[in-house]
A and B are shown apart, each in its own frame.
Chain A
Amino acid sequence: NAGVTQTPKFQVLKTGQSMTLQCAQDMNHEYMSWYRQDPGMGLRLIHYSVGAGITDQGEVPNGYNVSRSTTEDFPLRLLSAAPSQTSVYFCASSPPSEGYYEQYFGPGTRLTVT
């Protein structure tokens, strides 16, 4: 199993551009989520999904969209990039453990918005 994969690994955007961060998992996990991690901060939840067709907002959803058309994929869209969105983005998935808390993380995407 490849586990959780993310592409790209690095990305530089100009303010106002849009892009999609890709996330895929091959473990047939119902739960998937997106976090951002900034220096000196813990992980903050952006959006999550408990199954295909079901998504919900986390702590910091503004400026991001998600959709979940398949169990395997959970892309994160930045609609109009802003410098405040410079961060490392992690995608995670979870088997049906207690609350879906035992999460497996992808390697991350480092995004810089200039």
Chain B
Amino acid sequence: EDKVVQSPLSLVVHEGDTVTLNCSYEVTNFRSLLWYKQEKKAPTFLFMLTSSGIEKKSGRLSSILDKKELFSILNITATQTGDSAVYLCAVGGAGSYQLTFGKGTKLSVIP
């Protein structure tokens, strides 16, 4: 059974801080790891990391994948109050159209 564990479960930081969110996984025939951001409503896609793309960056957000140690991190630099959200990590295995999600990390950025 595929498994995704995220840490910490919640985090409170001040604006301008840098944060690192962690995601470890166990999946049969790993294919992809994804990060989603969930504010009040629906999750929105951030990054997909695969064997051929183990680093992604978009503005202040970046993510790396360590396939050997089976984990990924999501970094957010110079945090803003708009970064407050639940960040979800998910993995998919080869031959499967199913994603397994972690429970998420709730990030609160205070002014």
Contact = CB atoms under 8 A, between A and B. Distances in A.
Interface of A: 31, 40-45, 48, 50, 56, 58-59, 90, 97-108
B43 interface: yes
B44 A105 contact: yes
A101 B101 CA distance: 11
14 contacts: A31-B97, A42-B90, A43-B88, A43-B99, A48-B97, A56-B97, A58-B98, A59-B98, A99-B31, A101-B32, A101-B99, A102-B48, A107-B41, A108-B42
Interface of B: 4, 31-32, 34, 41-45, 48, 50, 88, 90, 92, 94, 96-104
A44 B48 CA distance: 19
A45 B4 CA distance: 14
Contacts of B103: 40-42
